Amino acid sequence: MLSFTLILMAILTKLYIKPGMEVNISASYAIVFLVYFFCGWFALVWIPMSTLYSSEVLSYSLRTNGLSLSSGLSYAVAVFISYMIPYGMKWSVWGFYLINGVWCLIECVIMWLYFPETRGMTLEEIDVIFDGKNHFNHSSPNITVSEEREMHK
């Protein structure tokens, strides 16, 4: 959703917003709407998921260090991007939107291929996926976490 919004903004800006050209009010309104649309979806989806996924996949002993590293890198990248936006817009408004849209698509592909699905799993099952071993004390050494969960229902 986010990448398509940015790509659509790039297309509208390339076609209708040019120096020395009469301003197309409809295209301007559409771009402003898309900026707010992008920010709304970004705030709804990406900001919470970056924190939730990081805390979910890290084991308890690594969680504080991992979350501080994740948060620190997120803030550092946000500051970097904030200072780069004016230079990118000066270079090419539509090109800047297009680069960010393509980058979002690349991120989606990377997440689809390399980030395992953790929906519906217990923390112990997630721990096995990322750490390769189960730190959960079972009542029987040959029982899986799912079987243990079923026994306690």
pTM of the predicted model as reported, rounded to 2 decimal places: 0.64
From residue 19, give the alpha-carbon distance in Å to each of 16, 29, 76.
10, 17, 33
Is the Cβ–Cβ distance between 145 and 128 less than 8 Å?
yes
Positions of the chain with pLDDT lower than 70, given as ranges: 132-149, 151-153
Q: Angle, to 10 degrees, between the axis of helix 25-41 and the axis of helix 2-16?
A: 160
CA gap 10, 99 in Å, rounded: 9
Give me Rg for the CA atoms of the chain: 22
Give the pLDDT of residue 149. 67
CA gap 77, 91 in Å, rounded: 20
CA gap 127, 120 in Å, rounded: 13
Give the pLDDT of residue 15. 86
Question: CB-based contacts of 57: which residues, under 8 Å, 6+ apart?
Answer: 118, 126, 130
119: tokens are: 């929906």
Is the Cβ–Cβ distance between 38 and 1 less than 8 Å?
no
